[in-house]
Amino acid sequence: RTSRENAKQSVLSRVAVCGGTHGNELSGVYLVRELLKVKKGVMEKEEEQEEEEPLSVLKVLSNPRAMQQCRRYVDTDLNRCFTHATLNGLTSGTVPYEMIRSRELNAMLGPKGRSGAVDLVCDLHNTTANMGLCLIAYSDCDWICLHIFRHLQAISNKESYSLDSVGKHGFAMEIGPQPHGVARSTVYTAMKAGVQHMLDWVCFFNSGTLFEGESVDVFTMIKHIDYPRDSETRNITAAVHPHLQDRDFCPLHPEDPLFQTFSGETLRYKGNEPLYPFFINECAYYEKAFIETTAADWREHTHTHTHTRYLSN
């Protein structure tokens, strides 16, 4: 069967491209600003050819206050505010800015889980990790996303608290390495091309193109590994080992170096099987332990490597 025969939804008429969900991840901020300047340009070229199935692309700057301060967020991480509980729960007292903003975004792009939601959300992110262009989704059986991932020859994993969960389909486009608060031209250009390819695929789909079943590489989350920390102060006591730094998605074997302590000692990976670390030394995960006081702050998300057949015959 082809994707079109599988489709309950015959057309993706409303697509949202979001930047600045984290205010210091600048590629998305600058790309969305650039797209907002281009009213009827290249990015929506299909719109005029396909008048009966117009494609509407909403360009959204998700967290303007955090962008203004060039911080990840002002009060709390916006990209953890899109659970049903946060979007629909009662509030009292001082409400964090991002909770208010998540409800605004849900009204604009959702409501999450409802028929009025946009068809596809593409949320743009940067990481300090050496991950290249990487696509992250909650589900490994959303065939719209999987077709887009294959179209971009990319990868996915799962979770469900973030902005891209508001649309009927959604994923995050994550590109690195780029320091937060900095724009690197090559990273910006790769993201721009990635968004263009995603919109191209939507246009192909909307115009009735048939897509053959194929396989796509998927990394599935297994666990987090936190930095070694001082038991009293919770300060980290080691950095990622130079042999591991920048080796995202490369296999990490038992006894491979993991950390180098600030006094110079090497700490090794004590697991029993090889895993594929990613988000290695991502800036945003340093502070999580301070804020959430969990051991999950450093998402050296280790992953198994599987092939998923995403369309059956």
Identified binder of a second copy from the candidate list 104, 159, 273, 287, rule CB under 8 A: 287
Instruction: State the SS3 of the chain.
Output: CCHHHHCCCCCCCEEEEEECCCCCCHHHHHHHHHHHHCCCCHHHHHHHHCCCCCCEEEEEECCHHHHHHCCCCCCCCHHHCCCHHHHHCCCCCCCCHHHHHHHHHHHHHCCCCCCCCCCEEEEEEECCCCCEEEEECCCCCCHHHHHHHHHCCCCCCCCCCCHHHCCCEEEEEEEECCCCCCCCHHHHHHHHHHHHHHHHHHHHHHCCCCCCCCEEEEEEEEECECCCECCCCCCECEEECCCCCCCCCCCECCCCEEEEECCCCEEECCCCCCEEECCCCCHHHCCHHHHHCCCCCCECCEEEEEEEECCCC
147 a known binding residue? Answer: no
Residue type, 41: G
Identified binder of a second copy from the candidate list 95, 286, 304, 309, rule CB under 8 A: 286
Stretch near a second copy under the rule CB under 8 A, chosen from 45-53, 131-139, 167-175, 277-285 = 277-285
- Is 52 assigned a catalytic role? no
Binding residues for a second copy, how many (CB under 8 A)?
A: 35
Binding residues among 253-272 for a second copy as defined by CB under 8 A: 260, 262-264
241 a known binding residue? Answer: no
Question: Given 44, 98, 174, 282, which residue is catalytic?
Answer: 174
Nearest distance in Å: CB 98, a second copy:
17
Stretch near a second copy under the rule CB under 8 A, chosen from 5-13, 166-174, 183-191, 300-308 = 183-191
Which CB atom, from 222 or from 283, has the smaller least distance to a second copy? 283
Binding residues among 40-79 for a second copy as defined by CB under 8 A: 70-71
125 a known binding residue? Answer: yes
Identified binder of a second copy from the candidate list 12, 31, 109, 175, rule CB under 8 A: 31
For position 241 contacting a second copy by CB under 8 A, the verdict is yes
Which CB atom, from 222 or from 239, has the smaller least distance to a second copy? 239
Interacting residues toward a second copy by CB under 8 A: 30-31, 33-34, 37, 70-71, 128, 177, 179-186, 188-189, 235-236, 239-242, 245, 260, 262-264, 281, 283-284, 286-287
Which residue ranges make up the annotated binding site for Zn(2+)?
A: 22, 25, 125
Catalytic residue list: 174
